[in-house]
Protein backbone atom coordinates (compact mmCIF):
# COMPACT_ATOMS: atom_id res chain seq x y z
CA UNK A 1 0.00 0.00 0.00
CA UNK A 2 1.34 3.44 -0.95
CA UNK A 3 2.30 5.76 1.89
CA UNK A 4 1.14 9.36 2.15
CA UNK A 5 4.22 10.66 0.33
CA UNK A 6 4.32 8.32 -2.65
CA UNK A 7 0.61 8.09 -3.36
CA UNK A 8 -0.51 8.66 -6.91
CA UNK A 9 -3.12 11.34 -7.30
CA UNK A 10 -6.37 11.44 -9.25
CA UNK A 11 -8.98 14.13 -9.82
CA UNK A 12 -12.52 12.89 -10.52
CA UNK A 13 -14.97 15.59 -11.64
CA UNK A 14 -18.58 14.61 -10.95
CA UNK A 15 -18.10 12.09 -8.15
CA UNK A 16 -21.27 12.44 -6.07
CA UNK A 17 -22.84 9.19 -7.33
CA UNK A 18 -22.83 6.61 -10.10
CA UNK A 19 -19.63 6.03 -12.06
CA UNK A 20 -17.77 9.04 -10.66
CA UNK A 21 -18.32 7.82 -7.10
CA UNK A 22 -17.41 4.29 -8.23
CA UNK A 23 -14.14 5.51 -9.76
CA UNK A 24 -13.32 7.50 -6.60
CA UNK A 25 -13.89 4.36 -4.48
CA UNK A 26 -11.85 2.16 -6.83
CA UNK A 27 -8.84 4.49 -6.81
CA UNK A 28 -9.03 4.94 -3.03
CA UNK A 29 -8.85 1.13 -2.79
CA UNK A 30 -5.79 1.26 -5.07
CA UNK A 31 -4.06 3.63 -2.64
CA UNK A 32 -4.41 6.87 -4.62
CA UNK A 33 -5.08 10.25 -3.13
CA UNK A 34 -8.45 11.18 -4.64
CA UNK A 35 -9.70 14.71 -5.22
CA UNK A 36 -13.41 14.27 -5.89
CA UNK A 37 -15.72 17.07 -6.94
CA UNK A 38 -19.43 17.27 -6.13
CA UNK A 39 -22.06 19.90 -6.73
CA UNK A 40 -23.62 19.40 -3.30
CA UNK A 41 -23.45 16.83 -0.47
CA UNK A 42 -22.02 13.48 -1.49
CA UNK A 43 -24.57 10.71 -1.73
CA UNK A 44 -23.84 7.00 -1.70
CA UNK A 45 -20.90 6.41 0.57
CA UNK A 46 -18.04 4.23 1.56
CA UNK A 47 -15.64 7.15 1.22
CA UNK A 48 -15.68 8.08 4.91
CA UNK A 49 -13.16 5.31 5.76
CA UNK A 50 -10.63 6.95 3.47
CA UNK A 51 -10.62 10.50 4.79
CA UNK A 52 -6.80 10.60 4.84
CA UNK A 53 -6.71 9.89 1.09
CA UNK A 54 -9.64 12.06 0.07
CA UNK A 55 -10.11 15.74 -0.73
CA UNK A 56 -13.64 16.84 -1.53
CA UNK A 57 -14.16 19.95 -3.62
CA UNK A 58 -17.20 21.59 -5.17
CA UNK A 59 -17.74 22.29 -8.83
CA UNK A 60 -20.63 22.75 -11.21
CA UNK A 61 -18.95 22.57 -14.60
CA UNK A 62 -21.64 24.84 -16.09
CA UNK A 63 -20.90 27.69 -13.69
CA UNK A 64 -18.03 29.86 -15.03
CA UNK A 65 -17.36 31.58 -11.67
CA UNK A 66 -17.18 28.29 -9.78
CA UNK A 67 -14.99 26.83 -12.54
CA UNK A 68 -12.56 29.74 -12.38
CA UNK A 69 -12.32 29.48 -8.59
CA UNK A 70 -11.88 25.70 -8.81
CA UNK A 71 -9.04 26.04 -11.35
CA UNK A 72 -7.38 28.57 -9.07
CA UNK A 73 -7.54 26.03 -6.20
CA UNK A 74 -6.08 23.31 -8.45
CA UNK A 75 -3.21 25.51 -9.68
CA UNK A 76 -0.55 24.05 -7.41
CA UNK A 77 -1.71 20.40 -7.73
CA UNK A 78 -0.19 17.58 -9.77
CA UNK A 79 -2.39 14.68 -10.86
CA UNK A 80 -1.46 11.32 -12.38
CA UNK A 81 -5.02 10.99 -13.66
CA UNK A 82 -7.76 13.52 -14.37
CA UNK A 83 -11.20 12.08 -15.17
CA UNK A 84 -13.90 14.40 -16.45
CA UNK A 85 -16.93 12.25 -15.70
CA UNK A 86 -19.81 14.71 -15.15
CA UNK A 87 -22.61 14.23 -17.64
CA UNK A 88 -26.38 14.19 -18.04
CA UNK A 89 -28.76 12.23 -20.20
CA UNK A 90 -31.10 15.14 -20.76
CA UNK A 91 -34.77 14.93 -21.70
CA UNK A 92 -36.17 11.49 -22.49
CA UNK A 93 -37.87 12.67 -25.68
CA UNK A 94 -36.21 10.87 -28.56
CA UNK A 95 -36.35 13.33 -31.42
CA UNK A 96 -34.87 16.81 -31.62
CA UNK A 97 -38.21 18.23 -32.67
CA UNK A 98 -39.67 17.33 -29.28
CA UNK A 99 -36.88 18.83 -27.18
CA UNK A 100 -36.88 22.39 -25.79
CA UNK A 101 -34.07 24.70 -26.90
CA UNK A 102 -32.88 25.27 -23.31
CA UNK A 103 -32.58 21.50 -22.82
CA UNK A 104 -30.49 21.19 -25.98
CA UNK A 105 -28.17 23.88 -24.73
CA UNK A 106 -27.92 22.31 -21.25
CA UNK A 107 -27.03 18.84 -22.60
CA UNK A 108 -24.49 20.15 -25.11
CA UNK A 109 -22.79 22.47 -22.60
CA UNK A 110 -22.63 19.76 -19.90
CA UNK A 111 -21.60 16.79 -22.03
CA UNK A 112 -19.45 18.36 -24.75
CA UNK A 113 -18.36 21.99 -24.37
CA UNK A 114 -17.62 22.41 -20.68
CA UNK A 115 -15.64 19.18 -20.18
CA UNK A 116 -13.24 20.30 -22.92
CA UNK A 117 -13.05 23.86 -21.60
CA UNK A 118 -12.32 22.51 -18.14
CA UNK A 119 -9.67 20.17 -19.55
CA UNK A 120 -7.90 23.16 -21.06
CA UNK A 121 -7.62 24.72 -17.61
CA UNK A 122 -6.45 21.46 -16.02
CA UNK A 123 -3.64 20.65 -18.50
CA UNK A 124 -0.99 22.27 -16.24
CA UNK A 125 -1.98 19.94 -13.37
CA UNK A 126 -1.17 16.73 -15.30
CA UNK A 127 2.04 15.00 -14.28
CA UNK A 128 4.57 15.55 -17.08
CA UNK A 129 5.33 12.42 -19.18
CA UNK A 130 2.96 10.01 -17.40
CA UNK A 131 -0.23 12.00 -16.65
CA UNK A 132 -3.46 10.74 -18.26
CA UNK A 133 -6.47 12.88 -19.08
CA UNK A 134 -9.79 11.05 -19.50
CA UNK A 135 -13.17 12.15 -20.82
CA UNK A 136 -16.26 10.08 -19.99
CA UNK A 137 -17.80 9.50 -23.36
CA UNK A 138 -20.14 6.73 -24.49
CA UNK A 139 -20.37 4.22 -27.32
CA UNK A 140 -23.63 6.05 -28.07
CA UNK A 141 -21.44 8.88 -29.36
CA UNK A 142 -19.70 6.61 -31.86
CA UNK A 143 -20.68 7.54 -35.42
CA UNK A 144 -19.58 4.13 -36.66
CA UNK A 145 -21.59 2.14 -34.11
CA UNK A 146 -24.50 4.50 -34.76
CA UNK A 147 -26.62 3.52 -31.74
CA UNK A 148 -30.17 4.30 -32.74
CA UNK A 149 -32.19 3.26 -29.74
CA UNK A 150 -31.58 6.25 -27.51
CA UNK A 151 -32.06 10.00 -27.28
CA UNK A 152 -30.61 11.63 -30.39
CA UNK A 153 -29.55 14.59 -28.30
CA UNK A 154 -27.55 12.52 -25.81
CA UNK A 155 -25.87 10.56 -28.64
CA UNK A 156 -25.09 13.77 -30.52
CA UNK A 157 -23.66 15.42 -27.39
CA UNK A 158 -21.23 12.52 -26.87
CA UNK A 159 -20.34 12.54 -30.59
CA UNK A 160 -19.62 16.25 -30.19
CA UNK A 161 -17.50 15.55 -27.11
CA UNK A 162 -15.53 13.00 -29.14
CA UNK A 163 -15.04 15.46 -31.99
CA UNK A 164 -13.99 18.31 -29.70
CA UNK A 165 -11.58 16.06 -27.83
CA UNK A 166 -10.03 14.99 -31.16
CA UNK A 167 -9.27 18.64 -31.86
CA UNK A 168 -8.11 19.17 -28.26
CA UNK A 169 -5.79 16.16 -28.54
CA UNK A 170 -4.33 17.45 -31.81
CA UNK A 171 -3.57 20.77 -30.13
CA UNK A 172 -1.99 19.01 -27.12
CA UNK A 173 -0.17 16.16 -28.82
CA UNK A 174 2.29 15.80 -25.94
CA UNK A 175 -0.55 14.55 -23.66
CA UNK A 176 -2.00 11.07 -23.14
CA UNK A 177 -5.77 11.31 -23.56
CA UNK A 178 -8.41 8.60 -23.29
CA UNK A 179 -12.11 8.81 -24.05
CA UNK A 180 -13.93 6.13 -22.06
CA UNK A 181 -17.01 4.03 -22.68
CA UNK A 182 -17.98 2.59 -19.29
CA UNK A 183 -20.37 -0.04 -20.69
CA UNK A 184 -24.08 0.13 -19.91
CA UNK A 185 -24.05 0.48 -16.15
CA UNK A 186 -26.70 0.42 -13.39
CA UNK A 187 -26.64 4.04 -12.20
CA UNK A 188 -29.32 6.73 -11.99
CA UNK A 189 -28.57 7.39 -15.67
CA UNK A 190 -28.09 3.79 -16.83
CA UNK A 191 -31.21 2.51 -15.04
CA UNK A 192 -32.02 -0.80 -13.40
CA UNK A 193 -31.95 -2.89 -16.58
CA UNK A 194 -28.28 -2.19 -17.31
CA UNK A 195 -26.22 -5.39 -17.25
CA UNK A 196 -23.13 -4.01 -15.49
CA UNK A 197 -22.62 -2.93 -11.89
CA UNK A 198 -20.65 0.20 -11.05
CA UNK A 199 -17.81 -1.75 -9.39
CA UNK A 200 -17.10 -3.88 -12.49
CA UNK A 201 -17.12 -0.89 -14.82
CA UNK A 202 -15.01 1.27 -12.48
CA UNK A 203 -12.46 -1.52 -11.97
CA UNK A 204 -12.14 -2.01 -15.73
CA UNK A 205 -11.81 1.70 -16.44
CA UNK A 206 -9.21 2.06 -13.67
CA UNK A 207 -7.14 -0.71 -15.32
CA UNK A 208 -7.45 1.04 -18.69
CA UNK A 209 -6.38 4.40 -17.25
CA UNK A 210 -3.42 2.97 -15.36
CA UNK A 211 -2.27 1.12 -18.48
CA UNK A 212 -2.30 4.37 -20.46
CA UNK A 213 0.33 6.15 -18.31
CA UNK A 214 3.10 7.32 -20.60
CA UNK A 215 1.38 5.81 -23.65
CA UNK A 216 0.74 9.07 -25.50
CA UNK A 217 -1.88 9.81 -28.14
CA UNK A 218 -5.66 9.82 -27.99
CA UNK A 219 -7.71 6.62 -27.76
CA UNK A 220 -11.36 5.70 -27.28
CA UNK A 221 -11.59 2.56 -25.13
CA UNK A 222 -14.29 0.72 -23.24
CA UNK A 223 -14.06 -0.56 -19.67
CA UNK A 224 -12.56 -3.84 -20.93
CA UNK A 225 -9.79 -2.00 -22.77
CA UNK A 226 -11.29 -2.60 -26.21
CA UNK A 227 -10.95 0.16 -28.79
CA UNK A 228 -14.27 1.86 -29.58
CA UNK A 229 -14.52 3.23 -33.13
CA UNK A 230 -14.97 7.00 -33.32
N1 LIG B 1 -24.46 4.69 -16.86
C2 LIG B 1 -24.19 4.34 -18.09
O3 LIG B 1 -24.62 3.26 -18.57
C4 LIG B 1 -23.31 5.20 -18.94
C5 LIG B 1 -22.98 4.74 -20.24
C6 LIG B 1 -22.15 5.51 -21.05
C7 LIG B 1 -21.65 6.72 -20.57
N8 LIG B 1 -22.01 7.16 -19.32
C9 LIG B 1 -21.45 8.45 -18.89
O10 LIG B 1 -20.81 8.30 -17.63
C11 LIG B 1 -20.87 9.53 -16.88
C12 LIG B 1 -21.45 9.24 -15.51
O13 LIG B 1 -22.74 8.66 -15.70
P14 LIG B 1 -23.55 7.96 -14.52
O15 LIG B 1 -24.25 6.82 -15.15
O16 LIG B 1 -22.71 7.77 -13.32
O17 LIG B 1 -24.64 9.11 -14.27
P18 LIG B 1 -25.31 9.66 -12.93
O19 LIG B 1 -25.46 8.56 -11.93
O20 LIG B 1 -26.50 10.41 -13.39
O21 LIG B 1 -24.20 10.67 -12.36
C22 LIG B 1 -23.85 11.81 -13.07
C23 LIG B 1 -22.79 12.58 -12.32
O24 LIG B 1 -22.47 13.77 -13.04
C25 LIG B 1 -22.60 14.88 -12.15
N26 LIG B 1 -22.97 16.10 -12.87
C27 LIG B 1 -24.01 16.28 -13.74
N28 LIG B 1 -24.02 17.55 -14.18
C29 LIG B 1 -22.98 18.18 -13.58
C30 LIG B 1 -22.45 19.50 -13.63
N31 LIG B 1 -23.04 20.48 -14.35
N32 LIG B 1 -21.35 19.80 -12.90
C33 LIG B 1 -20.76 18.84 -12.15
N34 LIG B 1 -21.21 17.58 -12.04
C35 LIG B 1 -22.30 17.26 -12.75
C36 LIG B 1 -23.69 14.45 -11.18
O37 LIG B 1 -23.68 15.29 -10.03
P38 LIG B 1 -25.05 15.57 -9.14
O39 LIG B 1 -25.17 14.40 -8.19
O40 LIG B 1 -24.77 16.85 -8.48
O41 LIG B 1 -26.19 15.64 -10.12
C42 LIG B 1 -23.25 13.01 -10.93
O43 LIG B 1 -22.17 12.96 -10.04
C44 LIG B 1 -21.70 10.48 -17.74
O45 LIG B 1 -20.84 11.33 -18.47
C46 LIG B 1 -22.47 9.55 -18.67
O47 LIG B 1 -22.85 10.18 -19.87
C48 LIG B 1 -22.82 6.43 -18.51
3 Cα to the center of ligand 1, angstroms: 31
Q: Is 123 in the pocket of ligand 1 (CB under 6 A)?
A: no
pLDDT for the residue 92: 86
Query: Is position 215 within any domain?
Result: yes
Query: Is position 1 within any domain?
Result: no
Q: How many helices (H) and strands (E) does the chain have?
A: 6, 7
Structural domain count of the chain: 1
Q: Which of 88, 90, 114 to mutate to test the pocket of ligand 1 (most atoms within 8 A of CB)?
A: 88
87 Cα to the center of ligand 1, angstroms: 4
| pLDDT confidence band for 19 (50 / 70 / 90) | very high
Give the Cα separation of 109 and 157 in Å (integer). 9
Query: Is position 87 within any domain?
Result: yes
Longest dimension (CA), the chain: 55
Read off the pTM: 0.97
Query: Is position 230 within any domain?
Result: no
Q: Which of 20, 43, 58, 160 to mutate to test the pocket of ligand 1 (most atoms within 8 A of CB)?
A: 20
Model confidence over 45-70: pLDDT tens digits?
667 778 889 999 999 999 999 999 99
Q: What is the CATH number of the domain that holds 87?
A: 3.40.50.720
Model confidence over 153-167: pLDDT tens digits?
999 999 999 999 999
Q: Which of 13, 37, 70, 87 to mutate to test the pocket of ligand 1 (most atoms within 8 A of CB)?
A: 87
pLDDT for the residue 6: 84
pLDDT for the residue 66: 97
How many Cβ atoms from other residues are within 10 Å of residue 182's Cβ? 26
Backbone angles phi, psi at 221, to 5 degrees: -130, 150
Q: Is 90 in the pocket of ligand 1 (CB under 6 A)?
A: no
pLDDT for the residue 42: 61
Backbone angles phi, psi at 144, to 5 degrees: -70, -40
Model confidence over 119-170: pLDDT tens digits?
999 999 999 999 999 999 999 999 999 777 778 999 999 999 999 999 999 9
Task: Return mean pLDDT, the chain.
Answer: 94
Query: Is position 135 within any domain?
Result: yes
> Which of the 8 DSSP states describes residue 17?
S
Query: Is position 3 within any domain?
Result: no
Segments forming the whole domain that contains residue 27: 9-222
| pLDDT confidence band for 102 (50 / 70 / 90) | very high
Query: Is position 189 within any domain?
Result: yes
Give the Cα separation of 70 and 3 in Å (integer). 27
Q: Is 184 in the pocket of ligand 1 (CB under 6 A)?
A: yes
Query: Is position 182 within any domain?
Result: yes
Per the DSSP assignment, residues forming a β-bridge with 98 are none
Q: Is 122 in the pocket of ligand 1 (CB under 6 A)?
A: no
Amino acid sequence: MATKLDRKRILVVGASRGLGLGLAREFLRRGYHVTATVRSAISGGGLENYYEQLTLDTLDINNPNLTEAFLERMKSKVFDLVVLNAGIYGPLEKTLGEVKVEDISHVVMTNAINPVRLAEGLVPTLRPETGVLAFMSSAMGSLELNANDASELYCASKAMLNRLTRAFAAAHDYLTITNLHPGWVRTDMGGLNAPLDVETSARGMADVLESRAGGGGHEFRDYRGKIVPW
